[in-house]
Amino acid sequence: MNNIKVAMSAFPSKICFYGCGNMGSAMLRGWLAAGISPDTFHVVDPVAENLPAGVALSRSAQEVQPSFDVLVLGIKPQLLSSLASDIAPLLNPGALVISILAGTTTQTLSDAFPAARIVRLMPNLAAAIGKSPLGLFAPKATELVKSDIAAWLAPLGSVIWIDDEDHMDAVTALAGSGPAFIYRVIDALTKGGEAAGLPQVVAAQLALSMTEGAAILAATSPETPGDLAARVTSPGGTTAAGLAVLDADSALDRLMTQTLRAARDRGTELAKGDVT
């Protein structure tokens, strides 16, 4: 669970979420778990459901009375051009727009909101429990608020500043989409356990518990994942036999490379409006 608490004096008094789907909702819940009051947040979303008690909700920008110094932009990337004129009146002069839109550059965002300061952020759903990687890019004009942004986001996970905006699509693929790939691996391990003769329930429990332990050890150990794998592997043993399959023709490396490249490239396509 999220054990980081934020001093109220260090946090914006009001934050607007324009669009609050799965990712925005995870951020919202992570902040609430850190002790931020629900009345800090105002969600603008025509279809959002099951928001935490106390969070204000408007179905359209026209229903919103106040304007905001901080707005989290969580719409579909291809909708930015059509919705920018609705969003702009919600921003105070010099407002900070934190965009979680895949593939959408700071230049595109600045063109949409010329009076705003822009930051790109890519979290994942683990923000809800304070365990998300938080890939961030800010143009030079916004760098003066970096320390404030990092402090606000710290309850959601690990803040990682990206120096080159061209890397943000790869950040999106790895940090944003990556959990789904890991969940598929866990599912595949469960199916593999079943195929090896285990009951499905037992295979699922073993796969989840093993993955949790391995991830925590990798995150807390001074050794690299490669070093840890070597520690588990005895020459001629069971682990070596399994790794021989994964390592044959660099099968796993090639699969992950292709997976992340496809996710990276799709983010760029979505930002251009290619929804086919």
CATH superfamily of 178-270: ProC C-terminal domain-like (1.10.3730.10)
* Residue 253 to residue 246: CA distance in whole angstroms: 8
**Using one digit for the tens of pLDDT, what is the confidence trace for 146-199?**
889 999 999 999 999 999 999 999 999 999 999 999 999 999 999 999 999 999
Give the model's pLDDT for residue 145: 83
Domain boundaries, the chain: 8-168, 178-270
Three-state DSSP state, 79 = helix
Asked whether the predicted pLDDT for residue 8 surpasses 50, the reply is no
Q: Residue 118: helix, strand or coil by DSSP?
A: strand
Distances (CA, A) of 206 to 187, 239, 253: 11, 16, 24
pLDDT at 6 over 70: no
Q: Cα–Cα distance between 202 and 20 in angstroms, integer? A: 36
Residue 43 pLDDT greater than 80, yes or no: yes
> What average pLDDT does the chain have?
93
pLDDT at residue 2, as a whole number:
57
Q: 3-state DSSP helix/strand/coil percent for the chain, to nearest 5? A: 55, 15, 30
CA distance linking residue 112 with residue 106, whole number of Å: 10
User: For 141, what's the count of Cα atoms within 13 Å in the CB-facing half-sphere?
Assistant: 13
pLDDT at 275 over 70: no
Residue 68: what pLDDT? 96
Q: Does domain 8-168 have CATH number 3.40.50.300?
A: no
CA 220 from chain centre, in angstroms, equals: 21
